[in-house]
Amino acid sequence: MPRKRQNNENIDEQYYQISPEILSSFPKYHPPVDLFSFREDIAVLAPYCRKGQRLSNEQVEEVADICTKGNLFVARSDHHIYSRHIVKQLDLVLQDDHLTDAEIAEICIHALLIQMRGFYAQPVKTMFEPLYKDVMVVTEYLWGDKHRINTFIRRLFRKDEMARHAVNTMIVGLRLWMYSTQEYRRKDLDRVTLALLLHDIGMSKVPPFLLKKNGPLKLEEREKILPHPLLGAKMMQKTDVSFDELVHACFQHHERLDGSGYPQHSKDRQITRVGRLTAVADSFSAMICERPWRKPKDMITACKELVGDHLRYDQEMTSALLGVFASGNLGQLVDMDAIVDARDSE
Ligand SMILES: [Fe+2]
Ligand SMILES: [Fe+2]
């Protein structure tokens, strides 16, 4: 790794220092961002090349050399290009100690969104493998410090899309789970994360026109959606990584404590903890997203409705969720839809 620079905090605020790992992930002859080199002799950061400019073999070598010495930088104003690049190679976020927690959360959320879109469109092994890899990067990051999940929960989506709903459910469920579980292993964190993210994967087998419908579903249309918990559980049982939490999240997320849910009308502790957790996170995520026929609910209203619905939802979990949003400690919410929409349209 390049050595950490001293006494140049203003440079570190406006520029990222690029590690050799990140440099090697760029197209060698056409860096996608402007590069700057730190001139030690005059202590100035000077432009080295412009984005898209073709580098000669000598320059490629020189850039590598500058980078190894810890003197290669990218402007923060190129963050959008840099993050679009890093989103496709998510493991790099763990190596880049110049990204802020907010930047890492946004890159992780966007990467998971892209992976979930791909897996919903084609729920096959070749799409699952890169998704799994990115989930492991996110859990590695959260494993380092559980409070990092709070940066994620300020960045929930409000637009209606299955992949956005999946990512929201993962974030909300993890916030509750990480703070309410006394001790957990890395493996448990991995499993709960995957379970929450993939809870609705059975929806990929539902006729697509139903998902795009502009209004509440009619009874016969609703019936076509009812099998998705079982379909999801069966799909996940077939993968190489199948484990109980994943199957339970898929199968039980529409079960309710009073037996009014589906598909099995299970009650109380017949529903596993991860099943109850996914139910709360799933319902909350649905409530805060806009639908073509209704506006999104604000976070606190959604939490209060769930707390009031104590016959159907685990009250410890719903009260904890209300605590997250009502405590005032969460800080400013971030418009994550605007961030990903801007990046998607570039
Ligand atoms: Fe569902
Ligand atoms: Fe859901």
Domains and CATH numbers, the chain: 9-78 (no CATH), 100-345 (1.10.3210.10)
Residue 44 pairs in a beta bridge with: 39
Confirm if 297 and 271 have CB atoms less than 8 A apart: no
- Long-range (24+ apart) CB contacts under 8 A made by 215-222 are 215/292, 215/293, 216/293
pLDDT digits 0-9 by tens, 210-231? 777 777 788 888 888 999 999 9
Q: For residues 310-329, give the mean pLDDT.
A: 95
Q: Which residues surround ligand 1, an ion (CB under 5 A)?
A: 200
Model confidence band, residue 330 (pLDDT cutoffs 50, 70, 90): confident
pTM: 0.88
Model confidence band, residue 10 (pLDDT cutoffs 50, 70, 90): low
pLDDT at 299 over 70: yes
Whole-number Å distance, alpha carbon 269 to ligand 1 midpoint, is 20
**Is the backbone of residue 268 left (phi > 0), alpha (psi -120 to 50) or beta?**
left
> What is the number of the ligand closest to the CA of 282?
2
Q: For residues 273-284, give the mean pLDDT.
A: 98
Whole-number Å distance, alpha carbon 197 to ligand 2 midpoint, is 9
pLDDT at 5 over 50: no
Q: Mark 318-339 as b/e (b = at least 16 C-beta within 10 Å).
A: bebbbebbeeeeeeeebebbeb
Whole-number Å distance, alpha carbon 143 to ligand 1 midpoint, is 27
Whole-number Å distance, alpha carbon 340 to ligand 2 midpoint, is 21
One-letter-per-residue 3-state SS of the chain = CCCCCCCCHHHHHHEEECCHHHHHHCCCCCCCCCEEEEECCCCEEEEEECCCCCCCHHHHHHHHHHHHCCCEEEEHHHHHHHHHHHHCCHHHHHCCCCCCHHHHHHHHHHHHHHHHHHHHHCCCHHHHHHHHHHHHHHHHHHHHCHHHHHHHHCCCCCCCCHHHHHHHHHHHHHHHHHHHCCCCCHHHHHHHHHHHHCCCHHHHHCCHHHHCCCCCCCHHHHHHHCCHHHHHHHHHHCCCCCCHHHHHHHHHCCCCCCCCCCCCCCCHHHCCHHHHHHHHHHHHHHHCCCECCECCCCHHHHHHHHHHCCCCCCHHHHHHHHHHHHCCCCCCCCCHHHHHHHHHHC
Confirm if 290 and 238 have CB atoms less than 8 A apart: no
> What is the number of the ligand closest to the CA of 286?
2
| Residue of 228 and 328 predicted with greater confidence | 228
CA-CA distance, 219 to 117, in Å (whole number)? 27
Quote the pLDDT of residue 1: 39
pLDDT digits 0-9 by tens, 144-202? 999 999 999 999 999 999 999 999 999 999 999 999 999 999 999 999 999 999 999 99
